[in-house]
Amino acid sequence: MTVLVLLGALGLVAVVCGLGVFTADSMARATFLLLASFVAVAVCLLVVGQTYLGVVVILMMTVEMMIMAVFMVMLMMNPGGLEPMSMVHNRGGAWAIALSVFAVLAAGAWLVPFPTTEPSAAGDPTVALGDALMGPQMLTMTVLALALLAAIVGTVAVSVSRGEQR
C-alpha cells in the first residue's frame, strides 16, 4: 500500500511539473520543471525495482537539462523571465493534438491484449538491458558525446568577448 501511495505522489509531482513547463514564464524555469518531472518518473522506476533504468534516466536527464539551461542562459535574450512571455503557441491546435494523442494512447492501453505468460529470463537482466540500450550504438553515442562537447566548447569560444583588454 505504501508503494502505491508513493507512486501516486510521484506521478502527481511528474504531471504537475510537466504542466508547469507550459505555464512557466521563462525557459530556465521551464527547464528545471521538466527536470523535476523526469526525476519524479525516474524515482518511480527506482521504487518498482528498475534500479538501472531509474539511475540512467536521472543521470541522463540531469546532464541534458543542465546543458540546456547553460545554452539558454548564454544564447537567449530573456532566460531569467524578467519580461513576461508565453511558452504556448496555437493553444487550440495544441489542445486538439494533445487530446487526440491521449485518446489513441489510452485506447491502446485498454484495447491491446497484453501477454499473460512470463518471458524466459536469459541471464542477468541488467546486462541484457545495458546491451539492448547501448550495445550496437556505443560508437554512435561516443561520437555524439564528442560532437556535443565540441558544440559546448565552440559556443563558449564564440561567446567570449575578445574586444577590449583591461
Quote the CA–CA distance of 39 and 18 in Å, as a whole number. 11
Residue 67 lies in a domain: yes
Tell me, what's the pLDDT at 164? 53
73-108: per-residue pLDDT in tens? 777 766 665 666 666 678 889 889 989 999 999 999
Residue 114 lies in a domain: no
40-75: per-residue pLDDT in tens? 999 999 999 888 888 889 999 999 888 888 887 777
Spatial CB neighbours of 34, under 8 Å, sequence gap ≥ 6: 17, 18, 21, 65
> Structural domain tally of the chain?
1
Range of the domain at 6: 1-79
Residue 7 lies in a domain: yes
Residue 119 lies in a domain: no
pTM: 0.57
C-alpha grid cell, residue 40: 519524479
Residue 45 lies in a domain: yes
Residue 84 lies in a domain: no
Say what angle helices 27-47 and 2-23 make with each other, to 10 degrees: 160
Residue 61 lies in a domain: yes
Identify the residue with better confidence: 14 or 24.
14
